[in-house]
Amino acid sequence: MIVSIGMRTDIVSYYTPWLLKRIKEGFAYSRNPIYPSMVYRISLKPEDVDTMIFCSKNYNPILPYMENIKKIYPIYCYYTITAYEKDIEPNVPDIEESVSTLIRLSSIVGKQRVAWRYDPILFTTKYTVQKHLERFEYLCSRLSAYVDRCIFSFVEYYPRFKTYLKEYIPLKQEEKEMILKGMGEIALKYGILLQSCGTDEDFQINHIHSSGCVTAEILSKANDIEFKNVKHKGIRQGCHCLEQRSIGAYDSCLSGCRYCYANKKPYECYKNYQMHDVDSPLLIGHLREEDQLIEPSLKRYRIKKEPSLFDL
């Protein structure tokens, strides 16, 4: 089983004490976002976790614990650092602080376990093609020695942009081609493997690799472990990732990113945050009388090696 820490909310940024307690106790509850009365008991026992996937925009709260975590689980860390400032990402650390934290993370867990995410790419009158390429090159120059790869995607438009991101400008084809060409050339210049996310389009002409973000190849190479030859089903159209079990909850991240798909109503995040109890197996709130607790079957991807005579 692959456990995702951060797909629904930035657990590392805002809920690290809860996560550490869940790891210590060996399980977490995860509420089904579509059928809320269905609650899954997700095992966090080392023998049940093939890899623990972290996604965050600020690893600073968990840095003191990452050395021990990587001894318990195979891990892979996705660190999102974009071109945006407080006008788009109000509560995310600035670029310099983020770069510094990523470098520290890489020194703890190893470059092979850290991917930098430059996404989503969106355009406004401030964040133009030129602005993106300038910021992307600067970040490449700072991060090339500390990351396994860079993953990017273009923003997916949501109707709520009309309310929460009014300055959003739809992407034109010529702008898309310019940024793909520019980013491909910059990544090649700094020796960074550049990879697209969430699309079936082929960008190889721009030195861009098409792959899933969470694949057996990436995870096995990062942790020197072996995975079964399984199909990467993905979680949505254009996704080529391995199936994962997510803990956490939507509408609970305090970063306030105005393009975020996981927060439908920003004010709900603060309301839900007040319901957080570090001692609860659920990230937000507690079990209710009407809840149905489900123990899902474990989908194992990792091949556990039997010791040979040479290991004895």
DSSP 164-216: H-TT-BPPPHHHHHHHHHHHHHHHHHTTPPEEE-S-----GGGTEEE--SS-H
pLDDT of residue 307: 52
* Amino acid letter, 258: R
Q: Is 99 helix (H, G, I), strand (E, B) or coil?
A: helix
What CA–CA distance (Å, rounded) separates 20 from 93?
22
Q: Is the pTM of this model over 0.85?
A: yes
Q: Which residues of the chain have pLDDT under 50?
A: 308-312
pLDDT of residue 298: 84
- Residue pLDDT, tens place only, 159-179: 888 888 999 999 899 999 999
Joined together, the tokens standing for residue 170 give 């739809």
pLDDT of residue 300: 86
What CA–CA distance (Å, rounded) separates 36 from 117?
30
pLDDT of residue 235: 62
Instruction: DSSP for 209-251, please give it.
Output: EE--SS-HHHHHHHHT-EE-------SSTT--PPP-EEES-SS
CA 217 distance to own-chain centroid: 17
Structural domains of the chain ordered from first start: 2-302 (3.80.30.30)
